[in-house]
Amino acid sequence: MKKKIAIGFLATLLSVPTSGLFAGPLDGQCIALVHGILGFDDTQGLAGGLVKYWGGLDGYLRSQGAKVTTPGSSATNSIPTRASQIQSAVSTWMTANGCSKVHLMGHSQGGLVIRYMVSNLGFSGKTQTVTTINSLHQGAPMADIVLAAIPSWLQPFANSALSLLAKLVYRDGRPQDVIAMGKSLTVSYVKTFNTNSPNKSGIKYYSYGSEMAWADLIQHPIMALTHPITWAGGLYYGLGGGNDGVVPLNSQKWGAWKGTPSSYWFATGIDHLQATNLAWSGQNYYDVQGWYLNIAKNAKAGL
């Protein structure tokens, strides 16, 4: 009798689809995590895999039942160039993984890249939702300040040198254009971009962001240097002083604004790099995995 029960239980167990056994809250969802400037595909990472743009978040979301890709594109280039590269990579991945639609999630310039894909490259039919994270929907004033400091006659030379450096660092064969990248971040450029890249009806747009409490050199060794510049630029352009070290908080809002993460009591906010857990830099200051799980669950629910 016991043998028959055991056999029956085993037969029932084997009849349950594998996806059902290991399903998580994101079961069946297709997600593309799109990096910003100086970014890369986390399949390989940077420095032999020692640096990951998303700090392991792609693997975590997979453990929650999602299918996830982290497509790479030119680390330094214009929005249209990067959007074309990302669209090609995501389309190929979707076909290989049986995804009819995908949740696009872009960080920093990556948020503008995915918006461009949907609005201008005919990708709306394959897009389920658009989520931007610490993106510059009203521009990043620091880009205006930096470009203004480089004389127009010097820009071609600076571009050649810096673009060559980017090619040597990334070694992926993709075209690099540092000046085009910089211009794509300016307040004036993004204003025109918004006019030419309106939201597509039928697709829900969400935005998330973060800010630093102050220029804390201990928690934010890099962003503490840029925070004052972004603060001054934000005030000058009417975007307010609150920022993540690169992008004013008010510039991070697009579509349905879903807010900022709750940092641990000892943290001085969350900066632009910690927002994606770059090189695992954010997980000691806020619940990175919980934050991104909520982002993905919100996209799935379409709230």
- Least Cα distance to 66 among 105, 22, 29 occurs for 29
| Cα separation, 80 vs 82, whole angstroms | 6
| Cα separation, 225 vs 216, whole angstroms | 9
Could you tell me if residue 212 is left (phi over 0), alpha (psi between -120 and 50 degrees) or otherwise beta?
beta
Quote the tokens at residue 186: 């300016």
Q: What is the reported pLDDT for 14?
A: 40
pLDDT band at residue 22 using 50, 70 and 90 as cut-offs? very low
Q: What is the pLDDT of residues 219-246, one digit of tens each?
A: 999 999 999 999 999 999 999 999 999 9
Q: What is the pLDDT of residues 185-199, one digit of tens each?
A: 999 999 999 999 999
Q: What is the reported pLDDT for 15?
A: 41
Q: What is the pLDDT of residues 61-98, one digit of tens each?
A: 999 999 999 999 999 999 999 999 999 999 999 999 99
pLDDT band at residue 4 using 50, 70 and 90 as cut-offs? very low
Total residues belonging to the chain? 303
Up-side HSE of residue 252: CA atoms within 13 Å toward CB? 27
Distances (CA, A) of 268 to 55, 284, 287, 303: 20, 12, 14, 30
**Mean of pLDDT values over 203-232:** 98
Q: What is the reported pLDDT for 262?
A: 97
- With tokens 């619940």, the residue in question is 287
For 135, the 3-state DSSP assignment is coil
| Cα separation, 68 vs 65, whole angstroms | 9
Question: What is the number of other CB atoms lying within 10 angstroms of the CB of residue 136?
Answer: 30
Q: What is the reported pLDDT for 26?
A: 96
- Domain extents for the chain? 30-301
Q: What is the reported pLDDT for 108?
A: 98
Q: What is the reported pLDDT for 8?
A: 45
- Least Cα distance to 210 among 262, 170, 167 occurs for 262
Q: What is the pLDDT of residues 119-176, one digit of tens each?
A: 999 999 999 999 999 999 999 999 999 999 888 889 998 889 989 999 988 989 999 9
Q: What is the reported pLDDT for 157?
A: 87
Residues 71 and 90: beta-carbon distance below 8 Å = yes
Residue with more model confidence, 13 or 225: 225
Q: What is the reported pLDDT for 242?
A: 98
| Cα separation, 249 vs 211, whole angstroms | 6
Up-side HSE of residue 79: CA atoms within 13 Å toward CB? 32
Residues 232 and 200: beta-carbon distance below 8 Å = no
Is residue 178 scored above 50 in pLDDT? yes
Q: What is the reported pLDDT for 127?
A: 98
The number of helices, as runs of H, and strands, as runs of E, in the chain is 11, 6
Q: Kindly report the average pLDDT of the chain as a whole number.
A: 93
Work out the percent of the chain whose per-residue pLDDT is above 90.
Answer: 84
Lowest-pLDDT range of 1-15, 170-184, 245-259 = 1-15
Q: What is the reported pLDDT for 17?
A: 43
Quote the tokens at residue 261: 């993460």
Is residue 5 scored above 80 in pLDDT? no
Question: Could you tell me the pTM of the whole model?
Answer: 0.91
Q: What is the pLDDT of residues 254-273, one digit of tens each?
A: 999 999 999 999 999 999 99
CATH architecture of the domain with range 30-301: 3-Layer(aba) Sandwich (3.40)
